[in-house]
Amino acid sequence: MSLHVSRVIISASQKGGSGKSTLLANLAVEAAKDSSPGEVALIDGDPQGTLDRWYGLRPTEDIQGYRMLFEDLLRGIDQLKTQKKIKYIFVDTSAANTQSINQILKIADLVIIPAKASKADVWSASKTANLLKEQNIPFTFVLNMVKPRVRATDGAESALSFLGAVAKTRIGDRSIYADSLGLGLSGPEADTHSVCVNEMFALWKEVKVYLSRHNRVAA
Ligand SMILES: Nc1ncnc2c1ncn2[C@@H]1O[C@H](COP(=O)(O)OP(=O)(O)OP(=O)(O)O)[C@@H](O)[C@H]1O
Ligand SMILES: [Mg+2]
């Protein structure tokens, strides 16, 4: 008999505007496509309320959306975990106060750290990564807003790979990600012919493989 366990996927980075909310929303949609109704929850834990607004615009109810104050996050995640149906809980966090969100990050099955291919992003991502490493919190970097044929991307990837896992899937710099967020959609939902369809599918597949290999609860 296997025990029910919800997997918690948190986006975090001290760097503002690195793509935390965008990647998380897109991954939550991929998870929902891959799940039965009611199995995916999304918590907006950032006072900016980006994903709360996004969720409010969403034309479908395939994802259960919540907005929580920082101080309520731990309890809120715990409560969602008791709902037997929920398979995936996605949590968006703010750029500020990464030290203080430590206690939230500790319960993550996977922390996604988006990083652009720039020195500033790599430095900032490495700070977040070191914090997670100190506590054995599983994480992966995701190169985001990647421009085609820019050599700095390979340099950033190799710098990040010294610090931890880097997702094989790179997320391109595509206006569809920005445009779709304002419509309550993911990139792939807004343009089914875009290259973003394959890349987001591939990133979700990587996340899923990671989660299946690192199951905290023994069957
Ligand atoms: N892959 C991408 N291609 C193009 N634009 C993107 C991509 N990812 C994110 N963006 C855009 O970059 C901006 C910042 O993204 P987002 O809000 O997701 O970052 P964030 O890390 O959540 O920011 P904050 O730290 O303020 O919460 C937004 O305008 C978003 O639409
Ligand atoms: Mg955000």
What is the DSSP track for the chain? Answer: -PPP--EEEEE--SSTTSSHHHHHHHHHHHHHHTS-TT-EEEEE-STT-HHHHHHHH-SS-SSEEEE--GGGHHHHHHHHHHSTT--EEEEE--SS-TTTTHHHHTT-SEEEEEE-SSHHHHHHHHHHHHHHHHTT--EEEEE-SBPTT-THHHHHHHHHHTTS-B-SPPPB--HHHHHHHTTT--HHHH-TTSTHHHHHHHHHHHHHHHHHH--SS--
What digits encode the pLDDT tens for the residues 81-90? 998 899 999 9
Structural domain contains residue 104: yes
CA atoms within 13 A on the CB side of 120: 4
CA 174 – CA 144 distance, rounded (Å)? 10
Structural domain contains residue 219: no
Predicted pLDDT at 54: 98
Structural domain contains residue 108: yes
Predicted pLDDT at 219: 34
CA 148 – CA 100 distance, rounded (Å)? 36
Structural domain contains residue 218: no
Predicted pLDDT at 127: 87
CA 151 – CA 214 distance, rounded (Å)? 33
What digits encode the pLDDT tens for the residues 44-53? 999 999 999 9
What digits encode the pLDDT tens for the residues 176-208? 999 999 999 999 999 999 999 999 999 999 999
Give the chain's mean pLDDT. Answer: 92
Q: Is 116 in the pocket of ligand 1 (CB under 6 A)?
A: no
Predicted pLDDT at 172: 97
Predicted pLDDT at 101: 81
Q: State both tokens at 120.
A: 């500033």
Q: Identify the nearest ligand to the CA of 121 by its number.
A: 1
Q: Beta-carbon neighbour count of residue 188 at 10 Å? A: 24
**Centroid of ligand 1 to alpha carbon of 92 (angstroms):** 12
What digits encode the pLDDT tens for the residues 59-85? 999 999 999 998 999 999 999 999 889
Structural domain contains residue 27: yes
Nearest CA to ligand 1 atom 25: 16
Query: Best of 10, 11, 14, 21 to mutate for ligand 1, by most ligand atoms within 8 A of CB?
Result: 21
Q: Which of 82-86, 100-104, 174-178, 211-215 has the highest mean pLDDT?
A: 174-178
Residue 76 φ/ψ, nearest 5 degrees: -65, -45
CA 182 – CA 164 distance, rounded (Å)? 32
218 pLDDT band (50/70/90 cuts)?
very low
Predicted pLDDT at 98: 57
For residue 43, CA distances in Å to 1, 25, 90, 167, 213 come to 29, 10, 6, 23, 24
Q: Is the CB of residue 166 less than 8 Å from the CB of residue 159?
A: no
Predicted pLDDT at 151: 84
Structural domain contains residue 135: yes
Q: Is the CB of residue 55 less than 8 Å from the CB of residue 42?
A: yes
Structural domain contains residue 1: no
Structural domain contains residue 67: yes
CA 81 – CA 87 distance, rounded (Å)? 8
Domain count, the chain: 1
CATH number for the domain spanning 94: value is: 3.40.50.300
Domain with 39 in it? 7-213
Average pLDDT in the 147-175 region?
A: 93
| CA-181 nearest atom, ligand 1 | 31
CA 205 – CA 128 distance, rounded (Å)? 24
